[in-house]
Structure 1
């Protein structure tokens, strides 16, 4: 159903405060300079706008046969912004976006941000009910949906009473889709001339967490937190340069791919290789053809690439000339890290972050020796401490070397959970974000993530840290990936289970689960090794590729 364009928004100078989003209005010039919010402005959209001037003719994105320069991409984003403006979208308006890793994602993303609007990326595998929850919870006034996800987006938007515009709908199907095409509306309107200025702490995104407890919550990220995260990792952490070719297979609706790949690459004028759906063989082929220099991924991607490398495990012309690689999203097993560095000849640097930290909080800085099993040091301007989880109402810092809950504070923290002050208050105590991760910090300040607090297994009263067990099991021959988790048990409280994915069918024929357990017993205490091993074709994964252990627990407890 086509909706008539509304009058352009004139709220840029007005107080904008809707549904606890806590948008910050432009300050009154008469305000006290010491106490007022300031007169500065900052926009995430400047990451693309600036490079469009500095690197106009460089290729910004490659997707299949499509190659788009920085100047072209910014012009296209401004054209989309003109179409959004004609629909009445302006500062503070939230727009739900369901677009895969194709050039239309940055066009829509930066077009909205250029208007001062708030981008609400939606997981592409969500059902219609889940999409509807995000639309309603975020207060979105418009949905932008790509052709491949219209089956979920259209009924969800209709149920929420929100209009839809599409992208990627071919001409032959235009009359069969009950929603207008954004491309057509952009062609019929004047493009946005320049960025709409917004205060630095104004919201830029609402990213929905994976929802380990209950429905997903919307984490509100500010322009300042996102831009500062990009600048800090470029100065102190990543060695990303103008002209680099960066693998872009991480989903752009997730903070890792959105900030660490797209936004960071655009800041320096690098090229992003977009892959709508991660497939290891396709990824290797594209990275080799485009001579990729930087790989950024989650541990499951590293394992999959090693499997796909197959006959080229000793290196060769068919493998991309990577200068280095970055891993995040979950702990990368040391055995996988070692194999990847050997096969691809590229050092791997691990980091740590969350949606709520925009996302990078700590990192093994490129240019310095990385310590396997460590997520490095807190990034510039960010503090991290290990605290006693027995005191959730206050921060009790533990001595160096002790295990406890990791807490973080700094410029990278989110604004809070949209419309959920109770969840925000529980997550942030005295200005520190409780991460829910169990960690240690050595005398030098280096951080190691031991486990998720919710993933820790308690067997016969003893704490079993899943990552410690996984590091042992993944070294067994033929194992591509492993996930250790606890299943309720009447006798022991919880029993240690392991889910295993094998490298290939040949490994499957030779794999002996009992032998793997016997080998593990030589390296693990009696209460730690797995009593049950499940061989699987694949692991359940979240939006960033992280293994969803809660689904494994639910499956095997039932």
Structure 2
């Protein structure tokens, strides 16, 4: 009935199997020589942590935030918290002060746990937050924690208990918090486990290498729970490193890999090595590989890349796991499990086969929301709008053929997809609009040969302000000081005006005429090389 109870059952069946693995990487601050934790070893530590939380007064109704990067110990804390009904709120380590403050206040956490190198950053956030939660350093995690401000409830955790809050970018600026339950996590893992076809999971044998962050549903829910259910091992690098990718896969004996669209071209650009075919990988699972690179990758490295579709809100995924996969298209599978689909027009009427429309999904049976997210925290209006007619509106434009195969076309929402990160254009616009030199701003997505899409800001300046390179740099730095490194504009273009409707709403589709490449406009400034992680 809970993720924790599922772990206990699996640990009893596979005590000596490796549960979590960290590949060796000398430039990483933790476990530079690598580390493995068996189910039995993990169980001992999880029980210890559970006892610490319980004795300190934490339980049902409490939330704890974690800024632990991609350390495997995050999942120990996750399971200990899950056992007691505590909800976890993972923090994106790339978030800056204002972003973390919003998350802290919105989630109303009772305590935050952070690595020592980020203590001062999080302390500044806690000091400004409304609730002022306790702050604990992960490396010095005590045997008795600061007491929560409220007493724990007496509810026993079950399928519908809140497990975590995952923040996902929305079109209205600030990220929305998806409430995820035990049912969500278990359904996400079960669906993956039972896929079959080219994505068959062998019980007790798989070692799944996922370079994506644990605060995303891909690594932190789908992959994690699938391995947990099957007695497999989740391999957790700190992030994607193209130069050491094959070395890590061979070293960790990985049998499955997860990828984003940015991964295949970066690996194909690496020099040929013996290790790239000396691995044990059976298949890769991911989304966004360019059709023209699909068979090139598979022929060079010797395993299939299986395209999927999913969202934080859905948990479950569509998977293109049976031949013929139509790898020269953007096919991502057919509805074959509990999650069903429709393709509709702007009036939610089904479109004809082969026509573009918005993808709507729901659960087969009496409860269309079963296994999905439980709603957006403190935003019932957005929740019900998304579930209009009891179909979840994904905001993705797709088409479906006569066989039921779904093909990705584009994103209907005002979201920019850069290297796997969803960036709300409205959030970037809000930051730039607050600068005293900016009169109007429109943020749009432009194609990028490496990162799928990049952020472009079209800016109208106030008064007689001159559109200089110095000002463009100043605006970029201004945004970089308030947003995670991947969100500021990679391109800035100063324009005299922006097209608007009669109600003064900017019409982004009319900024550039059809066939015009925005990146070829005179006077555009390129800041892509400055979009790097800030060392902590």
Same fold judged by TM-score > 0.5? yes
Match of 2:332, SS state, is: coil
Deviations 1:184-203 (A, max 9, x none): 449xxxxxxxxx94231222
Once residues 195 and 289 of structure 2 are traced to their aligned partners in structure 1, the CA distance between those partners, rounded to angstroms, is 22
Cα 1:340/1:135, change in 2 over 3 Å: same
Q: Give the total of aligned pairs.
A: 418
Deviations 1:146-182 (A, max 9, x none): 2243233222123221001221x3xxxxxxxxxxx32
Q: Is the 8 A contact 1:361 1:412 kept in 2?
A: no
Cα 1:212/1:152, change in 2 over 3 Å: farther
Q: Is the 8 A contact 1:351 1:362 kept in 2?
A: yes
Q: How does 1:224-235 map to 2 (within 5 A)?
A: 224-235=183-194
Q: How does 1:85-104 map to 2 (within 5 A)?
A: 85-104=54-73
Cα 1:342/1:318, change in 2 over 3 Å: closer
Q: Does 1:483 align with 2:453?
A: yes
Once residues 209 and 8 of structure 2 are traced to their aligned partners in structure 1, the CA distance between those partners, rounded to angstroms, is 22
Q: Is the 8 A contact 2:345 2:358 kept in 1?
A: yes
Once residues 224 and 274 of structure 1 are traced to their aligned partners in structure 2, the CA distance between those partners, rounded to angstroms, is 24
In structure 1, the partner of 2:517 is 530
Cα 1:205/1:284, change in 2 over 3 Å: same
Q: How does 1:210-249 map to 2 (within 5 A)?
A: 210-237=169-196, 238-241=199-202, 242-249=204-211
Q: How does 1:51-200 map to 2 (within 5 A)?
A: 51-63=10-22, 64=24, 65-160=34-129, 161-167=132-138, 169=139, 181-182=140-141, 184-185=143-144, 197-200=156-159
Cα 1:422/1:480, change in 2 over 3 Å: closer
Q: Is the 8 A contact 2:159 2:181 kept in 1?
A: yes
State the Cα RMSD in Å.
2.9
Once residues 10 and 393 of structure 2 are traced to their aligned partners in structure 1, the CA distance between those partners, rounded to angstroms, is 36
- How far 1:129 sits from its partner (Å)? 2.1
- How far 1:537 sits from its partner (Å)? 5.5
Once residues 223 and 456 of structure 1 are traced to their aligned partners in structure 2, the CA distance between those partners, rounded to angstroms, is 28
Cα 1:304/1:46, change in 2 over 3 Å: farther
Cα 1:536/1:294, change in 2 over 3 Å: farther
Q: Is the 8 A contact 1:455 1:486 kept in 2?
A: no
TM-score (norm 2): 0.72
In structure 2, the partner of 1:409 is 362
Q: Does 1:399 align with 2:352?
A: yes
Deviations 1:128-158 (A, max 9, x none): 2211211211121111212243233222123
Q: Is the 8 A contact 1:294 1:324 kept in 2?
A: yes
In structure 2, the partner of 1:303 is 265
**Which is further off, 221-230 or 43-52?**
43-52
Once residues 531 and 295 of structure 2 are traced to their aligned partners in structure 1, the CA distance between those partners, rounded to angstroms, is 25
- How far 1:356 sits from its partner (Å)? 0.6
TM-score (norm 1): 0.69
Counterpart pick for 1:271 among 227, 233, 242: 233
In structure 1, the partner of 2:474 is none
Once residues 287 and 481 of structure 1 are traced to their aligned partners in structure 2, the CA distance between those partners, rounded to angstroms, is 23
Q: Does 1:255 align with 2:217?
A: yes
Cα 1:318/1:447, change in 2 over 3 Å: closer
Q: Is the 8 A contact 1:275 1:283 kept in 2?
A: no
Cα 1:240/1:351, change in 2 over 3 Å: same
- How far 1:208 sits from its partner (Å)? 0.5
In structure 2, the partner of 1:280 is 242
Cα 1:541/1:287, change in 2 over 3 Å: same
Once residues 302 and 398 of structure 1 are traced to their aligned partners in structure 2, the CA distance between those partners, rounded to angstroms, is 34
Once residues 295 and 151 of structure 1 are traced to their aligned partners in structure 2, the CA distance between those partners, rounded to angstroms, is 35
- How far 1:225 sits from its partner (Å)? 1.9
Once residues 532 and 156 of structure 2 are traced to their aligned partners in structure 1, the CA distance between those partners, rounded to angstroms, is 38
Deviations 1:103-146 (A, max 9, x none): 21111111111111111111111112211211211121111212
Deviations 1:68-118 (A, max 9, x none): 101111221121111111221111311111112222111111111111111
Q: Is the 8 A contact 1:80 1:182 kept in 2?
A: no
Cα 1:353/1:156, change in 2 over 3 Å: same
Once residues 278 and 184 of structure 1 are traced to their aligned partners in structure 2, the CA distance between those partners, rounded to angstroms, is 34
- Gapped runs of 5+ residues in structure 2? 25-33, 146-154, 364-369, 417-443, 461-512
Cα 1:443/1:133, change in 2 over 3 Å: same
In structure 2, the partner of 1:430 is 389
- How far 1:302 sits from its partner (Å)? 2.7
Match of 1:357, SS state, is: coil
Deviations 1:362-396 (A, max 9, x none): 1112x54323211101251111111112x3xxx32
Once residues 210 and 484 of structure 1 are traced to their aligned partners in structure 2, the CA distance between those partners, rounded to angstroms, is 16
Once residues 305 and 412 of structure 1 are traced to their aligned partners in structure 2, the CA distance between those partners, rounded to angstroms, is 35
- Gapped runs of 5+ residues in structure 1? 1-41, 170-180, 187-195, 458-465, 491-525, 543-558
Once residues 531 and 326 of structure 2 are traced to their aligned partners in structure 1, the CA distance between those partners, rounded to angstroms, is 29
Match of 2:331, SS state, is: coil
Match of 1:416, SS state, is: coil
Match of 2:7, SS state, is: helix
Q: Is the 8 A contact 2:246 2:275 kept in 1?
A: no
Q: Does 1:364 align with 2:320?
A: yes
Deviations 1:485-523 (A, max 9, x none): 887699xxxxxxxxxxxxxxxxxxxxxxxxxxxxxxxxx
Once residues 455 and 100 of structure 2 are traced to their aligned partners in structure 1, the CA distance between those partners, rounded to angstroms, is 29
- How far 1:337 sits from its partner (Å)? 2.2
Once residues 275 and 69 of structure 1 are traced to their aligned partners in structure 2, the CA distance between those partners, rounded to angstroms, is 17
Q: Is the 8 A contact 1:455 1:485 kept in 2?
A: no
Cα 1:90/1:484, change in 2 over 3 Å: closer
Once residues 281 and 375 of structure 1 are traced to their aligned partners in structure 2, the CA distance between those partners, rounded to angstroms, is 28
